[in-house]
Chain A
Amino acid sequence: MIALSVAAALAVFLLYTSIAGGGTPSLRPSTLSGHAGRVSVAGVVLRPITGDAHGAGLHFRLRDKNGTATVPVVYTGTVPDAFKAGGDIVVDGRYMNGVFTAIPGTLITKCPSKYTPKKTS
């Protein structure tokens, strides 16, 4: 009886994840092309960072963590504290006409590593 119920529960959520289209694809700037809908892109922030996230939009380029491909990003909404050039971020949005237009408020920065050594000056 227990086994049956557990199996039923498992079936329910497996169904949900596959039907609801599951989650958002996690991509890098180099793998962006070809994806039409809402996606998540992760990468390193590059200078120059211009504009106003609470105004017309913050403009910067995002580069592959381990690569050279870059993509221009336009973002409005809350900017987390740790956001700066050279930092790792993840942001949701849509890739259209060569520009990644972000969904407001979806920018997340990776916490400066607790567990990796920081470069001592």
Chain B
Amino acid sequence: MSNSFASGLIVLGEVALWIALLMAAWSATVSFAGAAQRRGDLVLSGERGVYATFGFVLLASVGLWTALFAHDFSIKFVASYTSANLPKVYTFTAFWAGQAGSLLFWCLILALYGALAVWFGRGEKTRAFLPYVAGTMSVVTLFFLLTLCFGANPFERLDWTPVDGRGMNPQLQNPGMAIHPPMLYLGYVATTVPFAYAVAALATRKLNAEWLAPVRRWSLLSWFFLTVGITLGMWWAYVELGWGGYWAWDPVENASLLPWLTGTAFLHSIMIQEKRGMLRKWNVTLVVSTFLLAILGTFITRSGIIQSVHSFAQSPVGTWFAAFLGVSLLATGYLVSTRLKDLASQAELESMVSREAAFLYNNLLLVGISFSVLWGTLFPILSEWVRGEKITVGPPFFNSVNIPLGLLLLALTGVGPLIAWRRASVANIRRQFVFPGVAGVATGVALFALGMRDFYALVCYTLAGFVFGTIGQEFWKGTGARMRMYQENVAVALGRLVARNRRRYGGYVVHFGMVTMFAAFAGLAFKKEADVTLRTGQTHRARDPWGHDWTFTSQGVSQYKALNRYVTAVALDVTRDGQRVGILSSEKRQHVDSQDQPTFEPSTEVGIMEGAKQDVYVVLAGVTGTDQAELRITFNPLVVWVWFGGIIMAVGGLIVMWPQAERRRVQGGYAATLSPVAVAAPAERELAGAAS
């Protein structure tokens, strides 16, 4: 790329950012004005404005990427996060490695979603909402563009041009870190579309089922990306940071969990509104809260208001987000409070022993968990306001509150699918619960007999057995019904069962992944670690939680230079029960820039030997003299199942999201448009529906 062409693109990008700002402002104004005055021409112009905004934000992003690849170090952002010797892939991902760029990235996704929401919202059913959706999306985009143009401009120039940039933090030079932020952003930002639809539904007072169809699709999309993003974040923390865990209840981690929790609650409660016309206020509240929590998360991350290891530099951008949060809260509060009558429920809870009740408790628990996480995260601020003293709470707080709540939730995961809508009969309960109940109790008893004594772990595995039983039974019954009715073989029956009831069986797949994760979390109760010092040839012996005997023999310390770093590495020869299993090595890296000057502090490369039973996790803490390695060796039981569970959940999410052909929409569709009586299907019809 020629230099002048590159600098042309950069300037074009910068200008495009300002045009996008004007476009978003135009689009927001005419969309709302057109809706209020019922003027089709204004509405149409607003929609086109949304597309144009996306175009210009895209142009601005191309400009920043060009600057990164052209190594234009006169731009502060480029000089701050990259160096000339940074690998290409990380030059690309540097886009979201810093404050200003990540805001632009956020804005790019938002503008893209805005355009997609308008494009897919043109249909007959959602037409009425469109002006408000376009308007709301534009307002949010406008906010981000204002922040970008006046608060943190990625095109800001330095008054001098360094020969080389400061380079990228080595901890961010990891494939997990390259895709974790985009996934999380795709999830965070996708909460905006349901929010826009909620605003539109409230504004137009069309609060029946019509607005729920697109909201559900977008919420699922958001849920999917958040799930993938959070799991990747855990994986990155585990393999890169070297403290031996994947979740520390850090405020920024909590910030990503909060919208996930309320989003999950919504995806369950929406079914009750579809089937029974209940929970209308609640659903609007969940949609709005999910969006506000996503913004709050951004605020926490960007403002530095709460002590977190993750924080971006403290910057005035935090204040912008606080103001935006306040305005959104007031606006939606006003909309909801003036529409309470339109949100009245169309049905009552008929029995405590019903699927509705199970779903309601599921929602209560998910929201309870989010509240406790929010409370614990904000507690330093709250206590400072109330008592004038900053008091912090750490993992013990989150664990003691959330483990019991989480286990209750796990139990409901097993109950919900088994119990009938409206009112379960004794026969229904007996028929459905025997097998899963036996599976759960058997699991618990077996583990107790094998010597497991940790209370929470035992409860968790008993419940996990119960939920696996539930899921297994659902698949078994559905497949069996198909095999009898259509004479299909097992594979065909199973495949069609899932393909024709994607929401239901995809949901079970998600549950399966979730339970796998819970089972893996409980494994942490049996973690073992040791700090050891090994000279070349010396051996450390240890017994893992499963009773295997291990030896770790130092093969010596080596030092060498790689592409952009100096490396000190130790290699351990590992045996299990006398059998050699391989070499495990851990490194300390000192990154350098193209002038061979050290950048950043030394970073650690963890050595991990993964297995189904446990990970063996080795961290090189330091080297004394030339060959004495100081190591921490940890047995982390079942960790690999956390990643596996995450993948399964994502796959389940994909199954649920996969577009269904038109034919099935008639069968499975949005029943809330019918009267509650017509929909009141007994459990039998549910089962038949599964087999049809």
Partners in one complex: no
